[in-house]
Amino acid sequence: MDELVENLDAAKAQEKLEKVTSLCKRRGFIFPSAEIYGGFRSTYDYGPLGVQMLRNVKDQWWKTMVQFRDDVVGLDAAILSPPAIWAASGHLETFTDPLVDCKKCQGRWREDKINGVCPTCGSTTFTEPRAFNLMFKTQAGPVEGDGATAYLRPETAQGMFTNFSNVLNTMRKKPPFGIAQIGKSFRNEITPGNYVFRTREFEQMEMEFFVPPEDAETWYRYWVEERFNWYLDLGIHPDHLRKNEAAPEDLAHYSRGTTDIEFLFPWGFDELEGVANRGDFDLSAHAAASGERLEYFDQGLNIRYTPFVIEPAAGATRAMMAFLLDAYDEEDLDGDVRSVLRLDPRLAPVQVAVLPLSKKPELEEPARKVLRALQSVFRCDFDTTQSIGKRYRRQDEIGTPWCVTVDFDSLDDHAVTVRDRDSMEQQRIAIDQLVATLVASVQR
């Protein structure tokens, strides 16, 4: 019986993933990349609504991690980087996956992901595992050879370590302080998949927080809580989020403690973000390799030390997928199913849709005036096509929290009807109160 329920739940979860994937394509959130050429290996393009939503996720991260704090500053480092960085960081040697080939069908797999059985043909005979480095290697400039080798960064983190002194010297910071960065990273994943969960090109949101070594444990616990609460605050259901602290024997070579923040994806709990206490591994490794001193001199205490690093490392594209999955809902309205994305207004690509009840110029013109007033504060849509019911449904499906309808009464009472996405309740609001009323409903 339990197994039956589990199978049913798994099938439902899979169906939800398919529904969200289809909605994302149909409504302009996420398209398979290079689709007119048959697509390209688990790469995706973010359409008009997707690019906006992804930007909202990143903006919310930037606001909580940089703007609302006085101990974190921003950075945007280069994606192309010399081998020296990745030699020092350990990526050239250890950023590898064990790769095996199926002897029967020649399928190539990550050994640790297949439990000894080929997912294509079921065979159990494989070649010996080989270490496959996940970094994309390229060359900078017109001359080939060792001197020209460059890598696309597989994480944004190293930019913060290599700029540690630059930031320290220019920003008059002292530990505890952090450097934050959002940007693309690239990994030649052997088994990308599960939609945008694991792709070869993705966006990260990482922060390196430099602290006195004796305070590292306290800051590590602090950042686990902060980051966990960030997802809850933006609407992830508490039952769908958990912390998973790695056992000491499972820690990465640089880590003194790692807690993954996991979301209940359709295939089970899986990593959204990792928070790690990296000790002095990174600064010490780059100091040794570059010959530069990467330390902090505390004048008050007259001591020089290498700060420890606490790193909350999140995926922007992966977080967006979690927010989409958690927001997707279907509601039965007397036999008619309403699909709705219950996104937090801060994440919704469109916050307010202005919908004149008719296409007649005497309504469109005042409706555009309402639109212009709203546009200075909100992300807006303006739609005159189809019946008002169909327009509401379209906005529900893309997660728009409010629809503002301008009707013929508006010409006399100077008021509009505001429909709430979640309750579907409608309220008449004076046009001159509209912006203030909606502003009060959105957290910043």
Q: 357-363: long-range contacts at Cβ-Cβ below 8 A with a sequence spacing of 24 or more?
A: 357/388, 357/405, 357/406, 357/407, 357/408, 358/408, 359/384, 362/411, 363/406, 363/407, 363/408, 363/410, 363/411
Decide whether 188 or 339 has the Cβ nearer to ligand GAP: 188
Q: Which helix (H) or strand (E) holds 397?
A: helix 388-398
CA separation for the pair 165, 121 (Å, rounded): 53
Decide whether 199 or 410 has the Cβ nearer to ligand GAP: 199
CA separation for the pair 353, 249 (Å, rounded): 53
CA separation for the pair 403, 155 (Å, rounded): 40
CB of 286 to ligand GAP, least distance (A): 14
- Closest CB to ligand GAP: residue number: 315
Residue appearing with tokens 């996720």: 57
At residue 239, the 3 state secondary structure works out as helix
Distances (CA, A) of 177 to 65, 72, 208, 300, 301: 11, 6, 8, 17, 18
CB of 217 to ligand GAP, least distance (A): 19
Amino acid 20 reads V
Question: What residues line the site for ligand GAP (CB under 6 A)?
Answer: 155, 157, 187, 189, 198-199, 202, 204, 206, 271-274, 311, 313-315, 317-318
Q: Which helix (H) or strand (E) holds 426?
A: strand 426-430
CB of 19 to ligand GAP, least distance (A): 21
Decide whether 23 or 276 has the Cβ nearer to ligand GAP: 276
At residue 252, the 3 state secondary structure works out as coil
CA separation for the pair 269, 100 (Å, rounded): 26
Kindly provide the residue ranges of all beta strands, DSSP E only, lying in 153-247, ordered along the sequence.
Answer: 177-186, 201-211, 241-245
At residue 42, the 3 state secondary structure works out as coil
CB of 368 to ligand GAP, least distance (A): 40
Distances (CA, A) of 432 to 374, 417, 421: 11, 13, 22
Q: Which residue in 299, 302, 305 sits closest to 284, CA to CA? A: 305
Decide whether 215 or 271 has the Cβ nearer to ligand GAP: 271
**Spacing of C-alpha 404 from chain mean position:** 30
CB of 133 to ligand GAP, least distance (A): 14
CA separation for the pair 178, 208 (Å, rounded): 5
- Centre a 10 Å sphere on the Cβ of residue 81 and count the other Cβ atoms it contains: 20
CA separation for the pair 330, 18 (Å, rounded): 14
CB of 317 to ligand GAP, least distance (A): 5
CA separation for the pair 268, 10 (Å, rounded): 9
CB 382 within 8 A of CB 353: yes
Decide whether 271 or 407 has the Cβ nearer to ligand GAP: 271
Decide whether 206 or 280 has the Cβ nearer to ligand GAP: 206
CB of 10 to ligand GAP, least distance (A): 23
Decide whether 216 or 313 has the Cβ nearer to ligand GAP: 313
Decide whether 271 or 397 has the Cβ nearer to ligand GAP: 271
CA separation for the pair 434, 437 (Å, rounded): 5
Q: Which helix (H) or strand (E) holds 81?
A: strand 80-81
CB of 125 to ligand GAP, least distance (A): 29
CB of 195 to ligand GAP, least distance (A): 10
- Centre a 10 Å sphere on the Cβ of residue 178 and count the other Cβ atoms it contains: 26
Decide whether 187 or 394 has the Cβ nearer to ligand GAP: 187
Decide whether 199 or 400 has the Cβ nearer to ligand GAP: 199
CB of 274 to ligand GAP, least distance (A): 4
Amino acid 324 reads L
CB of 353 to ligand GAP, least distance (A): 31
Decide whether 313 or 355 has the Cβ nearer to ligand GAP: 313
